[in-house]
Amino acid sequence: MAGIFISFEGIDFSGKTEQARRLFETLRTAGYDAELLREPGGVEIAEAIRHILLDAKNSGMTDRAELLLYSAARAQITKEKIQPALAAGKIIVADRFVDSTTAYQGYGRQLDLDFVRRVNLFATWATLPVITFLLDIPLEVAAARLRQSGKAADRLEREDHDFHQRVQQAYLQMAQAEPARFAVIDGTPSMDAISRQINETLRRRLGLRI
Ligand code: TMP
């Protein structure tokens, strides 16, 4: 049986990582064979690439190197983990996937969108999520959460307001263009309220018993 591929997207501090984790726990509790993955990373080679990508010291990285490194990490996790898991009938819950590259490198860095689309397909052998939750929050909320977290901003989080605004707008535009795959969720209510909405969407759209 083919598995189910679910991804979470959103700007930094949208709460998607916590929601992906909650969904993974819910699925496991309901008896589903699920795997939680994060991108970039999830397998050894991709985690090493993640380190290069997020290290604030690498401020000289070119936009093209950035696109290719995210894609390299993705090609590795797709072949090593995602495809075998789906073939075994598992549910994959991914914290980011190709839409992050479209939003951040395509729209954020303003690289050629058609090229980005082709690289995304190349890096994934066109293995794509059937449903993508976009957690949408205003940029001011994201900035306040970054301050509250007290953590040092990574290389991408250090980008300016315009960059993050392009990314956020791109996500909404992408969701509008593909309403059958995307589910846009308001990321500002409580974590519990958001989880309930995600679970309800999965019951409705995919018939999951959660
Ligand atoms: P994370 O904070 O969700 O783990 O993501 C790491 C950073 O990498 C985040 O700022 C978004 C960025 N990113 C891209 O720019 N392109 C991509 O393809 C992916 C997967 C992440």
Per-residue pLDDT of 45-99, as tens digits, reads: 999 999 999 999 999 999 999 999 999 999 999 999 999 999 999 999 999 999 9
Residue 76 and residue 45 in contact, taking contact as beta carbons nearer than 8 Å = yes
Q: Which two tokens stand for residue 77?
A: 């996790």
CA–CA distance, 174 with 192 (Å, rounded to integer): 26
**Which residue has the least CA distance to atom 15 on ligand 1?**
104
**Which residue has the least CA distance to atom 3 on ligand 1?**
12
Distance 40 CA to ligand 1 centre (A): 7
**Which residue has the least CA distance to atom 16 on ligand 1?**
101
Distance 100 CA to ligand 1 centre (A): 6
Per-residue pLDDT of 20-42, as tens digits, reads: 999 999 999 999 999 999 999 99
Which residue in this structure is represented by tokens 């957690």?
Answer: 135
Per-residue pLDDT of 110-159, as tens digits, reads: 999 999 999 999 999 999 999 999 999 999 999 999 999 988 888 888 88
Distance 39 CA to ligand 1 centre (A): 7
All structural domains of the chain with their residue ranges: 4-206
pTM beyond 0.95: the answer is yes
Per-residue pLDDT of 162-184, as tens digits, reads: 999 999 999 999 999 999 999 99
Q: Which CATH number fits domain 4-206: 3.40.50.2000, 1.20.1260.10, 3.40.50.300, 1.10.3720.10?
A: 3.40.50.300
